Amino acid sequence: MKIRTVDQLDLAGKKTLIRVDFNVPIDKASGNVVEDTRIRAAVPTIRTAMDKGAKTILVSHLGRPKGGPSPDKSLAPVAPILSKYLGKPVTFVNDCVGETVERAVAAMKPGDVLLLENVRFYPEEEKNSEEFGKKLAAFCDVYVNDAFATAHRGHSSNVAILKFVKERAAGLLMKDEITYFEKALVSPARPLAAVFGGAKISGKIDAINNVLGKVDKILIGGAMANTFFAAQGFGVGKSLYEAEMIDTAKQVLAKAEQQKAGFYLPIDVVVADQLESPSIVKSVSVKEIPEDMMALDIGPETCRLFKEALNDAKTIVWNGPMGVFESPQFGGGTLAVMQALADSSATTIVGGGDTDTALNKAGLFSKMSYVSTGGGAFLELLEGKRLPGLAALEEA
């Protein structure tokens, strides 16, 4: 990453605007933050700015408000959580541009922290409006981007703003995200294995194709495996699959064989007559999925196969669950893969919202070498794409 980082800057007395990602779940009934991983992830960068004597101004989005302010999408509940982790008061401002913000910034002292309201309350943000970027830039001497999870979006707060700020850098979280990604696919310890799960092959086909030439092994689970079963001529019953992607799946299988990459598909699956309150749940061979049933998890033989395939890996990248992990009856495959990574001596790099949710649920989050904060951004890096938020920093 050819970008300076926040720890390399002189920030004493400077108004420092940090684009963070505080897109955290808020309980509608209580208005409280439900899970604060992304808040905690931003603390090292914020604390660095504080320790350097910056006047730290934080800007973030939360959810997808429909073109204007929405009380249930306010960042106000984040301020007390952040204050607890920083050990000092965080002032919340109920706007992100305009006179209210100007007055709050003018009153700041070195070491102070200010949290602005949801930047997506202004539709100009997602349009990457230069005028809106200029308004955000008016409050700062220095711009720091620490929001990896939004780096695949070209918005005003991470792209347009850079046209109006002379001094800029990446945050420590952004630095870690790129460092671990480079460990995974640029200069990995080998053997390198990639594990893909989730519902749809269409959402991950570019990533699978991109890593096919780079990894030693690919393991496929989740509902996306059903499309590969169909491509092999197996019946998939009532299982979720993408008929329009069958030819693409055939091409992937042919490419894997040509490149002599280890390509692992499930050999058995857990099937049920229905997802909610099933009356029948059993494991069957992938060649014998009943017509009136659906595959909802990888089976026990596949769990053993995948564990064995990962046993000698030195680097493992994982994106997406192996089944409907939210249900205890169909979470065994995801848990088995998580445990295999937790027990491995390999560098384990995990990305994707569902995947880190499963890790937290199983209490295995801390057993991974690195868990990315960005699902979409992580996937686009796996696809070999250049992220707009990073590209703007590099170009600036």
Instruction: Given the residues 4, 200, 250, 307, select the one marked as catalytic.
Output: 200
Which residues partner with 14 through β-bridges? none
* Phi, psi of 297, deg, nearest 5: -170, 160
H or E element in which residue 265 lies: none
3-state secondary structure of 246: helix
Q: Which residue has the tokens 């990305």?
A: 351
Extended strands (E) in 136-280: 142-145, 167-170, 192-196, 217-220, 262-264, 268-272
H-state helical runs in the chain: 37-51, 78-86, 99-106, 130-137, 172-181, 205-212, 224-231, 246-258, 300-310, 332-343, 353-362, 375-382, 388-395
Note if 376 is an active site residue. yes
Instruction: Given the residues 14, 38, 55, 217, select the one marked as catalytic.
Output: 38
H or E element in which residue 93 lies: strand 91-93
237 burial via Cβ count (<10 Å: 0-12, 13-18, 19+): buried
Note if 200 is an active site residue. yes
Confirm if 330 and 270 have CB atoms less than 8 A apart. yes
Instruction: Given the residues 134, 353, 367, 385, select the one marked as catalytic.
Output: 353
Token digits for 176? 């870690």
Confirm if 296 and 275 have CB atoms less than 8 A apart. yes
Confirm if 252 and 208 have CB atoms less than 8 A apart. yes
Instruction: Given the residues 4, 47, 376, 385, select the one marked as catalytic.
Output: 376
Note if 14 is an active site residue. no
Note if 307 is an active site residue. no
Token digits for 256? 């894997």
> Which residues carry out catalysis?
38, 200, 353, 376
